[in-house]
Amino acid sequence: MNPSDILTPPHWPSRFLRWYCHPDYLEDIEGDLIERFETDLAIKGPKVARWNYTKDVFRLFRPGIIRPLSGNNQLNHYGMFKNYIKVGVRNILRQKAFSVINIAGLAIGIACCLLILLYVNDELSYDRYNKNFDRIYRILHTYRSAENPGSLPPPSPEDFQVWGSAPVGPALQADFPEIESYFRFTSPSQLLFQYGSKRFQEDNMVFADSTAFQIFSWNLISGNPKTALKEPNSIVLTLSTAMKYFGYDDPMGKTITIDQTETFVVTGVMGDVPSNTHFTFDGLISMTTFHNWRPEIFDSWGYVDFYTYFLLKENSRIESLEGKIPDFIEHNGPDWYKTDNTIAFEPLSSAYLHSKASRQPGTTGSYTNIYIFSFIAGFILLIACINFMNLSTARSMERAKEIGVRKAIGAQRHSLIVQFLLESIMLTMLAALLALILVAFVLPFTRELSGKALYFSDLLSWPFIALFTGSVIFVGLIAGSYPAWVLARFKSSQVLKGRLKSSSGGISLRKALVVFQFALSMSLIVGTAVVFSQLKHLHTLDMGFTKDQMLVIDFGWDSKVQEQIASIKTELGKHPKVSMVSTSRAVPGAFLPDAGTRIESASGEMTMHNPGIYEIDQDFIPTYEIELIAGRAFSDDFPSDTTQALLINEAAAKLYGYTNAEDVIGKKFTQWGREGTVVGVVKDFNYKSLHSKVEPLSIRYAPTGALRRFSLKVAPEGMVTTLADLEQLWSQLVPHRPFIYSFLDDSFNRQYDADIRFGQIFTVFSSLAILIACLGLFGLTTYTTALKTKEIGIRKVLGASLFSIVTLLSKDYIKLFLIAVLIGIPVSWFAMNSWLDNFAYKMEIGPGVFIVAASICLLIALSTISWQSVHSALRNPVDSLKDE
């Protein structure tokens, strides 16, 4: 350091003082500081003097001394902001109509966004309640046939299924030290539960390994999580199931009789499975029970009835396991390996939204729907912001004189921008408060509509509150940015001389925004029409079988019913309203297994595939009116049909290489221990959802113990009386079992509940988006009509008709509408075709959909515009011309 620098004040504090200090005070303050520095230098030395000088510079950094940022006399802008708020409130109250339209539009837009946010958040939260969420995986399986192992291409995601065999889990844990534990559960079992006088058929009970509570974070209210499912004949009930049987009594240690033969001990009570999980159940039965019943299947790689999950050890990578899969399969299941079967691992995070595998243990979601609803939320909010910008810029002429006067007396451009942005944020805050009230009011209806557990409390977390507040301010800034920029650019000289006119840029922007609103509104109308047309198409499509007036009675494989199937069928068929009765394992729309089936090829070789399997009696085909295209159906005239005959559908015939159905008749088959010949081919019928094409199906005569349902074709007249009669008859024939029935068309159509719910939600939010667009259009029309009040009066005095005046006010919007139609047609066509790709059987989007949508959109727009236009045209011209 230069010695002379020690005797002078430090440089950087001096520079800082000169930067912030008001010019009027700088000379005096700096002189005083230098005098004090020299005194400290002489008495206390240079180090203390320099330190005191620096402290004094920073102590003086306060509002009374700091130079003004923009020519004001002080940094404290409290008075200025107070004035901005006053002016903003006055403008809001003065322009009540525009304020109500803006606040209502923004409120509806924000409310829609919040509701959709709750829906999307619920969809994205599936299975995340598990503390080991990131370490849980499940095993996927493929079952493909190949003459030579490895000859088939790698399986696609659609080739896998979640349903698999029992030995996979134990074998994986034995071979892979990275696996901490595994958990298996079966497909839901239908069991007759009885406790005292209470008797119900439970359709969602699963057999599960004792590691259930080790892998999944289910809340076990009573019982030991490590031992609750260890012993045979032990059962853990969900809270709602336990309440059904035991009320408020403690169920622990009590026994429940199942199927009138087995007694089970309640060893645990768990909270109901959270709604945001990809599979649910009403109770867990120990897997050791199932093992005691059927021990042979726990060593069979070919028996499929299990879903297997495993927990990866911490710091282990799933990639290290995936590379060992071929060796694992060859070592554990060589026969399985020869058929080109394999496994894969899927993280729990992909189970609900991303999985393409079949045979899911529960419902799956749709990322496409999440994108669609998110876009709708964004569009709704964007429309609300567009309305705000349109109305604000359109009203700019009304505030021109205010801006001119304020600029003339010294107002800076940036202060005007701040004022208008502050007014925009105030409107947005009011809209946000109203939106929260709307959400609280409509949330119960939204829960019913969406079928999801959505609660207002989900919006009360601190992260969400911070995000919501920030988003509201951001929306206010975005919505008010362009109007503020336009208004602040007004020149005071032109404004005060009355020469200011709307800029061509502002008019062009408003027109562009109106076109955008029209195009979006039309696209949403097209989307709504396509969704409901597709759903109608699904309901009216020829399924290939009769499902109307088909009553299905479920007896859950009851052994006592199995023993007297023939006599029960006879008695049910005697009812005058019942024309036909059949029995089967499955019915269309219900779950059915796959069966490894070999059928003789044209070259004489036995080809292996895994078609679905229906097990039926001889009356099933005629009862459901399924058409035969080759051969014959099962018949009592051929006793060997019960053990040596097989029917297949057209898809199965093609799978085995027969394009001509007649050629497969008489070919040999082997299936599940049964051998014989193919005796008939049925026409393809949609026994599964129309989301997929008809899959290969084999149909065989049901063996003893394989039947579960009666199908009754009943007359539609007097249905209530018919059901009462059948229930009474059932209580006489099967007194130990409840009368559980459903109509096939209802149960089959439940496969489309998610699609119907999607259509309803889509329609509601589309309608709200159109409503917001109409609000903006109404406000804009009101303003433009007000600007032409005197012109309308003059035209009426000169003899103009009502029609010509309405046309004058509407023609510009009609032109914009036509442009919007040209934009909306290709956009909506592309978007809805992408949605229709989820269906194997989809409607064709013809020009009629766009014509109807355009007509509806035009009608809505004209109704909105004409309301104000007709009102202005009907006014007495004297009222509009007498003021100046």
Question: What is the structure's pLDDT at 786?
Answer: 64
Q: Give the model confidence (pLDDT) of 320-360 as tens digits.
A: 899 899 888 888 865 665 566 889 999 999 999 999 998 89
Residue 5 has pLDDT above 70, yes or no: no
Q: Are the CB atoms for 789 and 852 separated by under 8 Å?
A: no
Residue 99 has pLDDT above 60, yes or no: yes
Range with the poorest average pLDDT among 255-269, 496-510, 686-700? 496-510
Residue 667 has pLDDT above 90, yes or no: yes
Question: What is the structure's pLDDT at 410?
Answer: 65
Question: What is the structure's pLDDT at 884?
Answer: 46
Q: Measured between alpha carbons, how far is 535 from 854 in angstroms, rounded to an integer?
A: 21
Sequence-ordered list of residues with C-beta below 8 angstroms from that of 194, at least 6 positions apart, any chain: 256, 257, 258, 260
Q: What angle do CA 370, 372, 373 make, to 5 degrees?
A: 65
- Among 420-429, 520-529, 548-557, name the most confident range: 548-557
Residue 701 has pLDDT above 90, yes or no: yes
Residue 398 has pLDDT above 70, yes or no: no
Residue 233 has pLDDT above 90, yes or no: yes
For the record, the structure tokens of 621 come out as 């085909």
- Amino acid identity, position 23: P
Sequence-ordered list of residues with C-beta below 8 angstroms from that of 390, at least 6 positions apart, any chain: 510, 513, 514, 776, 779, 780
Question: What is the structure's pLDDT at 104?
Answer: 86
Angle between helices 802-836 and 504-540 (to 10 degrees): 50
Residue 85: CB atoms within 10 A of its CB come to 14
Residue 723 has pLDDT above 80, yes or no: yes
> What does pLDDT average to over the chain?
85
Kindly indicate the confidence band of residue 423, based on its pLDDT and cuts at 50, 70 and 90.
Answer: confident
For the record, the structure tokens of 698 come out as 């084999």
Q: Measured between alpha carbons, how far is 630 from 647 in angstroms, rounded to an integer?
A: 10
Counting Cβ atoms within 10 Å, is residue 324 exposed (0-12), middle (13-18) or buried (19+)? Answer: middle
Q: Measured between alpha carbons, how far is 221 from 228 in angstroms, rounded to an integer?
A: 12
Q: Measured between alpha carbons, how far is 592 from 621 in angstroms, rounded to an integer?
A: 17
Cross-strand partners of 612: 594, 697
User: Number of H helices and number of E strands within the chain?
Assistant: 31, 23
Residue 492 has pLDDT above 70, yes or no: no
Question: What percentage of the chain has pLDDT greater than the value 90?
Answer: 40
Residues 482-509 have a mean pLDDT of 60
Question: What is the structure's pLDDT at 729?
Answer: 95
Residue 74 has pLDDT above 50, yes or no: no
Q: Give the model confidence (pLDDT) of 142-183 as tens digits.
A: 877 666 666 677 888 888 999 999 999 999 999 999 999 999
Question: What is the structure's pLDDT at 882?
Answer: 58
Collapsed DSSP state (helix, strand, coil) of residue 31:
helix
Residue 73 has pLDDT above 70, yes or no: no
Cross-strand partners of 194: 199, 257
Residue 506 has pLDDT above 90, yes or no: no
What H or E segment, with its residue span, contains residue 258?
Answer: strand 255-258
Cross-strand partners of 668: 677
Q: What is the pTM of this model?
A: 0.77
Range with the poorest average pLDDT among 224-233, 519-528, 808-817? 808-817
Question: What is the structure's pLDDT at 71?
Answer: 47
Residue from 881, 877, 561 nearest 740 by CA: 561
Question: What is the structure's pLDDT at 503?
Answer: 52
Residue 188 has pLDDT above 80, yes or no: yes
Kindly indicate the confidence band of residue 250, based on its pLDDT and cuts at 50, 70 and 90.
Answer: very high
Residue 235 has pLDDT above 80, yes or no: yes
Kindly indicate the confidence band of residue 645, based on its pLDDT and cuts at 50, 70 and 90.
Answer: very high
Question: What is the structure's pLDDT at 487?
Answer: 66
DSSP label of 341 = -
Range with the poorest average pLDDT among 51-65, 650-664, 775-789? 775-789
Q: Strands 612-616 and 697-701: what pairing?
A: parallel
Q: Are the CB atoms for 247 and 201 separated by under 8 Å?
A: no
Whole-number Cα distances in Å, 374 to 37, 368, 380 = 65, 10, 10
Kindly indicate the confidence band of residue 3, based on its pLDDT and cuts at 50, 70 and 90.
Answer: low
Half-sphere exposure of residue 42: CA atoms within 13 angstroms, side-chain side:
5
Q: Are the CB atoms for 178 and 312 separated by under 8 Å?
A: yes
Cross-strand partners of 205: 189, 283
Residue 413 has pLDDT above 80, yes or no: no
Residue 306 has pLDDT above 80, yes or no: yes
Question: What is the structure's pLDDT at 77?
Answer: 55
> Does residue 466 or residue 654 have the better pLDDT?
654
Residue 495: alpha-carbon gap to chain centroid? 52
Kindly indicate the confidence band of residue 75, based on its pLDDT and cuts at 50, 70 and 90.
Answer: very low
Whole-number Cα distances in Å, 593 to 139, 164, 304, 358, 537 = 18, 11, 8, 12, 28
Q: Are the CB atoms for 619 and 641 separated by under 8 Å?
A: no
Residue 706 has pLDDT above 50, yes or no: yes
Residue 496 has pLDDT above 60, yes or no: no
Q: Are the CB atoms for 343 and 141 separated by under 8 Å?
A: yes
780: left (phi over 0), alpha (psi -120 to 50) or beta: alpha
Q: Measured between alpha carbons, how far is 319 from 333 in angstroms, rounded to an integer?
A: 22
Q: Measured between alpha carbons, how far is 643 from 613 in angstroms, rounded to an integer?
A: 15
Question: What is the structure's pLDDT at 278?
Answer: 94
Question: What is the structure's pLDDT at 7?
Answer: 73
Counting Cβ atoms within 10 Å, is residue 121 exposed (0-12), middle (13-18) or buried (19+)? Answer: middle
Start-to-end Cα distance in the chain: 78
For the record, the structure tokens of 696 come out as 């290969």
Kindly indicate the confidence band of residue 270, based on its pLDDT and cuts at 50, 70 and 90.
Answer: very high
Question: What is the structure's pLDDT at 594?
Answer: 84
Kindly indicate the confidence band of residue 743, based on its pLDDT and cuts at 50, 70 and 90.
Answer: very high
Collapsed DSSP state (helix, strand, coil) of residue 530:
helix
- What are the structural domain ranges in the chain? 3-59, 80-126+365-502, 133-350, 505-541+750-884, 556-739
Residue 610 has pLDDT above 50, yes or no: yes
> Does residue 868 or residue 557 have the better pLDDT?
557
Cross-strand partners of 581: 712
Q: What angle do CA 492, 494, 495 make, to 5 degrees?
A: 60
Q: Give the model confidence (pLDDT) of 357-374 as tens digits.
A: 988 999 888 888 888 888
DSSP 161-177: BS-B-TTHHHHHHHH-T
